[in-house]
Structures are given as C-alpha cells and as structure tokens.
Amino acid sequence: MTAFLRDLKTASLLTLLLALLLGGAYPLAVWAGAQLCFPRQANGSLIRDADGTVRGSTRLAQAFPGPAYFHPRPSAAGAGYDAANSGGSNLGPTSRALADRIASAVTAFRVENHLPPSAAVPADAVTASASGLDPHISPANAALQAARVAQARGLPLARIRAMIAAATEGPDLGCLGDPGVNVIRLNLSLDASPMLP
Amino acid sequence: MNAPLDWLQLALFCGVLLLLTKPLGLYLSQVLERGRTWLDPIVGPLERATYRLCGIEADREQDWFGYTISLLAFSLVGLVLTYLLLRGQGRLPLNPQHLPGLPPHLAFNTAVSFATNTNWQSYSGETTLSYFSQMVALTIHNFTSAAAGIAVAAALVRGLARHSVRTIGNFWADLVRVTYYVLAPLSVVLALFLVAQGTIQNFQPYVAVRPLAAGTAGAPKIAQGPMASQVAIKMLGTNGGGFTNANASHPYENPTPLSNLVQMLAIFALPSALTYYLGRVVKNQRHGWAVWAAMFLLFLAGVLVTWHAEAAGNPIHQRLGLVAADGNLEGKEVRFGIFNSALFATITTDASCGAVNAMHDSFTPLGGLVPLFNIETGEVIFGGVGAGLYGMLVFVVLAVFIAGLMVGRTPEYLGKKIEAYDVKLVMLVLMVLAATILGGTAWAARTDWGRAGLNNAGPHGFSEILYAYSSAVGNNGSAFAGLTASPADGDPHYDVTLALAMLVGRFLMIVPLLALAGNFAAKRLVPASAGTFRTEGPTFVVLLIGTVLLVGALTFLPALAVGPIVEHYLMGAGRLF
C-alpha cells in the first residue's frame, strides 16, 4: 500500500510536469515555428478581400450555387459545407437513404449539365466526401461541368478548360494520390475573368 | 483510377517502411536499454531534472508487480486529471468558442478513451472541445499512453531475453525516456512538416466567412486551433483521436497526398521498429524479422482485399448511373482516391491508431470487413506502439505451444520452457478480450438503447455495433461513425459500456502480460536441442500467421457472418434497408 501511495505521488508530479511540457511547451514551440516559417498555412490558407474580409479557404469546399460556378462534391458536414462541423454521411452500402440521395443527385447532375439521360456520371459528383469539405472534384467531373459554366458566363469553352487545367492539383511527386481540380481556386479564377457583356 | 501508379505507391510505402525499421529499431534499443543517443547533450539534463523533481530512482529496476503498480498508478492519475479538465472546460482558458464542460458520461468516456490509447471519439472535436482541452487534457495522453505501451512491450521483451532474474526494467525511466527521446522530437519535426503541407496551428477563434458566391445562406465559420501539434503525435503514438470530427480526412488535418503518405508511415514506423528491437534484445535478429514478415504479409493481404473491394464499388449505386470504374467514393476524398483510402484504412486498423482518412461506415461490406477483422485479431499486424508487439508475442507463445503439441515435445521459446502458467495467462488474455467484444455487441444489439444509436438498418446496423465494441476493446478508436454513442437525449449506455470495454481491453491485456514477463524473466535457460522448434524462417512465419488467423476466424466468424458477410451478398442482390 505504501508502495502504491509513493507511486501515486510520483505519478501526480510526473503528470503535472508532462502537462506543462507536452500540453504547453510542445504546442507553443510548434506554433512559434509554424507562424515563423509557414504563416499562411498555419492560419488556414485563408482567402481575403482587399478590405481583409475572409471569403473562405483554398483548402475547404464551400457552397457554389447556380450555373455560373463549378459545383463541389455533395457535403454531409453539418447542414452542408459547415467548416466548423466536418464529417461524412456515414451511410452504408445497403442504405436506402444513400441510394435515394445518389439517384436524385445523378438526375440533377444530368439535367443541369444538359447530359443525355443515359450518361454515366462521375462518382465523385454525386457522393458525399469524408470530411464534407473536400475542395477537389475529379477532372472528369470538371470537364462535364465546363460547357454549362462557359455558357452561363459567356466565356469560350477553351478558356474554361485552360482554367480547369490550371486548377488541377496532384499527383504529389508525380505518383502520390489522385489528381483533383480545386473548385475554390477554379471559381476564384472564374470570378477574376470579366464576363462578356 | 490509375492502377500502375497505385502499385507504385504501395511499393513506395512498403519500401520506406522497410528502410526505416532497422535504424529506428537501433535507436529505440539505445533509448530503452539506457544506451547513449545523439540527443543526450540536449535531452539528458531535462531527463535527469525530471527524475529529481518527481523522485524517480531510474536505475532501480522493478519486478513485474512493481512495474504494473507504477503503470496503473500513472494511468489512474492521468485519467482523473483529464476527466476533471473536461468537466471544467467552461471555466478554463483558451476557449474562444465558449464551449461548456462535458457531461459526466462523455467526460468519462473521453478520459478513458485517451488514457487507454484508444481515442474513440464519442464527441465531435470542433463543436465540443476547447483548445485547452485538446492541447492539455488530450495531448498528454497521446504521448504517455503511447510511451506506456512501448514500456510494456520493452518489459515483456526484457522478460523474454533475461533468465533467472526478477526484474524487468523501471517503468518511470521507460516512460520518460520514450517520451523525451522518441515521441517528442519526432512529433516536433512531423508537426512542422504537416504545417508546411497545410495543417493549421494557431489559437484564433473560429473565423467568420463571407461566402464567395452571392446569395449563399447562413453565416459560416471555419474552425481553427492548435491542430498540427496534436495530429503529429496522434499518428506517431497510434492514438488516432482527430482534432476535428472528420479526423484525417479533413483538408486541414491531412492536406495532401504527401502528408497522407507521411502520416501512414508515422503510424507504422515505431511498431515496425519494435520488431527490430525485439530481435536485438533477445539476440536473435532473424526472430525479429520473422515476426516482422508475419505482420507484413497479413498487412499486405488486408490492403489487397480492401483495395479490390472499394475499387469494384457498389453495384446498387452503379445501376443508378455512376461511372463503374470510379469505385466506391461515398465517404472518401478525391485527393486520396480509392487506393490511398483503402491503404490508410488497413494501416489504421492493423495498428491501434484509429485515425481515418475515409469513412469506414460507407465502405463496401468486404472493404469494411477487413478493418473490422484487423481490429479483432487484437491489432497485432504491426499494431499500436508497443501494444502491437506485446499482442503479437501472445500469439508467438501460442504458436510455439501449438507447434510443441504437434510434435509432442515440451515447447520452448528463446531457450525457455513454456509451461501451463504461461499458456493460461495467454489464453486468459485472448478469451477476456473476445468475450468483451462479443458480449458487449450482443447486449447492445438486443436493447433499445443499443439500436437507438444506429445510423443504418439491416446487417449494416449490426456491423456498426460490432465495430464499436471491437474498436473499444482493441483500443483502436476508429468507428463505423454513423453510430451515435453520445445521443442528444443524454443516454449514457454506450459511453459507459464502451469506456468499460476500453479499460478491459487495455488493462486486462497489460497486467497478465507483465505477469508473463515476470515469469519468463525468472525461468532458467535450457540448451537448444535438435527437437527445439525454431522461431525464425518461413515455417515459423506461416505457423504464426495461421495462429493469428485461426484464433481470429474461429472467434469472430459467426459475428462477421451476420454483419458484413451477409451484407455483401445482399448488396449483390440489390437489397436496401
């Protein structure tokens, strides 16, 4: 029993010391290094207006309604694209709710992009991502949305395709991961191009 | 889908893991066997100051009982501290969102979850926990529960290597040295690398956003916080508790395919290196590599099955008009794709990590079966830091015992006879864990509170419950995350039973194993003879893999049959629930 009490004392002292070192000094050291070397990333890769208003992050999807923007993947984060409540749908492979949701998303994707009713739809366009904040869509998905956006903005299709290519990221080191089109960067470049009158 | 590139990525991951094993294993040996390291000039003074301050006699070795008591005392203190910090969160600093204290059952579940290296998240990070809670209450456990796991593995390895003695090391010295020399320095480097890739590390309140598209409803906010420091140790310590609800699928927590590769390596690096440490300490490096090979082959088989199942996709969804070649992308991120999601899922459940870069709940039935089965083997495929090795050594003892029975000789392991007491301890561990998983699942599946938490109906709902108790007992922490363990009406059943399952999984494993370590340390050496079963080479690897699969399959196959296996056939038939 005395041995256990002595252990409890050692454990308490060590826990407090480690709380200071690992719960205090360690995150502060990383914070200092991060703010010094990589301030943009450490603060969320935020997009700001000229007046400093935060408009989003280049790494996090947000809702882009309407035909004139490329649409990100469906989101199950909060009420949709909630960057303070990330998450997926967690619906399983035999879920009726999931099958129904995918069926209506497939129809909507074909209608808004003027595709024939039999056209195969890229899976990423109609499935919710894991985080609900996936900033990427597949190149195939972007290609199918390009004509709609070009029409809505009165821009030549070739111009839109060049923007898609410029917003495509990956694979890292030439082999890691799948290539993805960053929807936020793509839509930012759209807004930076003047529409035809 | 680009299959050749995917194979290249698999080869790259395996190659780097293999290359890391020896140097990191040598370094671990220096740290655990009190040798010199190149960090001595910086860390040495801090280490000695720590011993002085806390009254630790680092050079006085403990017998197995003393070692166990120290470990239990340390775990108890950490658990109580975290419980109190979470309960009092509302009155503590660094809480810009003014989040209130956690209710008792959730605070208990979370404190147990982190103290046992499980890191099951009954809470949702960014809506429940303040920066102070994440940094202090949780991060210390990320370090110490991992260090304690490595300490237990080291104690068991010493017990196997020594003979005719009572002592197996000093718990406090093992804990402090692993934390100071291994986990903390590696975490600093990894955290800064992750920030360079895009992980955040700040103390700002959540940022209000004016959306880019005009006419978007609501006033969205972006969660912030000291994320990188916690993510680094969550991987290295095979903890897995995410800073955010979406864990390593969140674009801040795991921004790029490169950060993903490094995080996967961070999960496996120390467990893999510990097999080298085993070989070195028992002076039989080929035995260490044989254990590594058994782990590696089991890992490879798991990856290939999951990858194939997810790439094949879901025929129900494909009939709705999806491009079949895209595979099953529900609950996955585009930048990781099918392959890296399948690889990560296998790694995180082989190890007791439990971080996820894709939602396992939305995997195909067979793709989800592999993570579930990995956990149910006891996470011995590289496994948690320390926990993987000591779990695998249970199977090694069992395999040697079975081999001895087959040839009708007294089984010997590393020059020592395996006797009835050893086998009883090993079987105690295996049976208690299996009974807790299956018993907890059966209880929850038969009760209203158990079924109320489900997000899916039919066999998939049963899989959610089975996964929850497997993950808790296995101290994994990943989930079929649709299961709501902490419902809005405050029903505490899941929180409390899962917390108890985690305690059983951690301590009813560790205590018998330390007893085994003490018993082995006291044994006398018997000279090897022609009849000694050799614990190296292909025969041993095959026997070890067979033991792992046989115990896992016989114990859990019936439960898996009514969960993922039947769901696989129902999915093929197009049934929906």
**B339: closest chain A residue by CA:** A177
Per CB-CB distance under 8 Å, the chain B contacts of A188 are: 212
Distance CA(A20)–CA(B54), nearest Å, equals 14
Per CB-CB distance under 8 Å, the chain A contacts of B357 are: 130
Cα Rg, chain B, nearest whole Å? 23
Report the C-alpha dihedral over residues B266, B388, B145, B352, rounded to 10 degrees: 70
Residues constituting chain A: 197
State the number of CA atoms in the 13 A half-sphere of B100 facing the CB: 4
* Cβ pair A89:B224 closer than 8 A: no
Residue B478 has pLDDT above 60, yes or no: yes
* Cβ pair B357:A45 closer than 8 A: no
Interfacial B residues in 46-65 facing A (CB < 8 Å): 50, 53-56
Nearest to B198 among A41, A81, A90 (CB): A41
* pLDDT at B218 (0 to 100): 66
Q: How far is A133 from chain B (nearest CA, A)?
A: 7
Rounded to 5 degrees, what are φ and ψ at B104?
-55, -45
Measured in whole angstroms, how far is the alpha carbon of residue B189 from the centre of its chain?
A: 21
Residue B556 has pLDDT above 50, yes or no: yes
**Residue whose C-alpha is closest to residue B291's, from B1, B535, B119:** B535
CB of B86 within 8 Å of a chain A CB? The answer is no
* pLDDT at A147 (0 to 100): 97
Q: How far is B527 from chain A (nearest CA, A)?
A: 38
Specify whether the CB–CB gap between A30 and A22 falls below 8 A: no
pLDDT in tens, B501-514: 999 999 999 999 99
Q: How far is A162 from chain B (nearest CA, A)?
A: 20
CB of B525 within 8 Å of a chain A CB? The answer is no
* Cβ pair A106:B210 closer than 8 A: no
* Cβ pair B215:A65 closer than 8 A: yes
* Cβ pair B320:A102 closer than 8 A: yes
> Where are chain A's structural domains?
2-42, 46-192
**B225: closest chain A residue by CA:** A43
Specify whether the CB–CB gap between B70 and B62 falls below 8 A: yes
Residue A43 CA: distances (Å) to CA of B228, B251, B286: 11, 13, 48
Distance CA(B562)–CA(A42), nearest Å, equals 46
Predicted confidence band of residue B409 (pLDDT cuts 50, 70, 90): confident
3-state SS assignment for residue B416: strand
> Where are chain B's structural domains?
3-208+222-572
CB of B6 within 8 Å of a chain A CB? The answer is no
Q: How far is A158 from chain B (nearest CA, A)?
A: 23
Measured in whole angstroms, how far is the alpha carbon of residue B138 from the centre of its chain?
A: 16
Distance CA(B222)–CA(B224), nearest Å, equals 6
**Residue whose C-alpha is closest to residue B474's, from B213, B238, B270, B312:** B238
Question: What token pair was written down for B389?
Answer: 């090795």
Q: For B40-99, give the DSSP string.
A: HHHHHHHHHHHHHHHT--TTS-EEHHHHHHHHHHHHHHHHHHHHHHHHTGGGSSS-TT-P
* Cβ pair A106:B321 closer than 8 A: yes
Residue A30 CA: distances (Å) to CA of B131, B262, B552: 14, 18, 41
CB of B99 within 8 Å of a chain A CB? The answer is no
3-state SS assignment for residue B39: coil
Predicted confidence band of residue B485 (pLDDT cuts 50, 70, 90): confident
Query: Which residues, including other chains, have CB under 8 Å from residue A190's CB and lie 6 or more apart?
Result: A68, A69, A70, A149, A153, A155, A160, A163
Give the residues of chain A that fall short of pLDDT 50.
Answer: 197
CB of B266 within 8 Å of a chain A CB? The answer is no
**A43: closest chain B residue by CA:** B200
| Span B127-138, average pLDDT | 91
pLDDT in tens, A99-133: 999 999 999 999 999 999 999 999 999 999 999 99
Q: Angle between the B139-161 and B3-32 helix axes, to the nearest 10 degrees?
A: 70
Interfacial B residues in 137-196 facing A (CB < 8 Å): 137, 139-140, 143-144, 172, 175-176, 179, 184, 187-188, 191-192, 195-196
pLDDT in tens, B532-541: 888 999 999 9
**B222: closest chain A residue by CA:** A83
Per CB-CB distance under 8 Å, the chain B contacts of A170 are: 256-257, 335
Per CB-CB distance under 8 Å, the chain B contacts of A113 are: none
Predicted confidence band of residue B1 (pLDDT cuts 50, 70, 90): very low
B249 secondary structure, DSSP code:
G
Predicted confidence band of residue B217 (pLDDT cuts 50, 70, 90): low
Predicted confidence band of residue B553 (pLDDT cuts 50, 70, 90): confident
**B458: closest chain A residue by CA:** A94
Per CB-CB distance under 8 Å, the chain A contacts of B232 are: 30
Predicted confidence band of residue B179 (pLDDT cuts 50, 70, 90): very high
Is residue A57 left, alpha or beta, with left meaning phi > 0 and alpha meaning psi from -120 to 50? beta
Q: Is the peptide bond before A135 cis (omega within 30 degrees of 0)?
A: no
State the number of CA atoms in the 13 A half-sphere of A90 facing the CB: 22
Nearest to A95 among B223, B322, B577 (CB): B577
Distance CA(A39)–CA(A44), nearest Å, equals 9
Residue B531 has pLDDT above 70, yes or no: yes
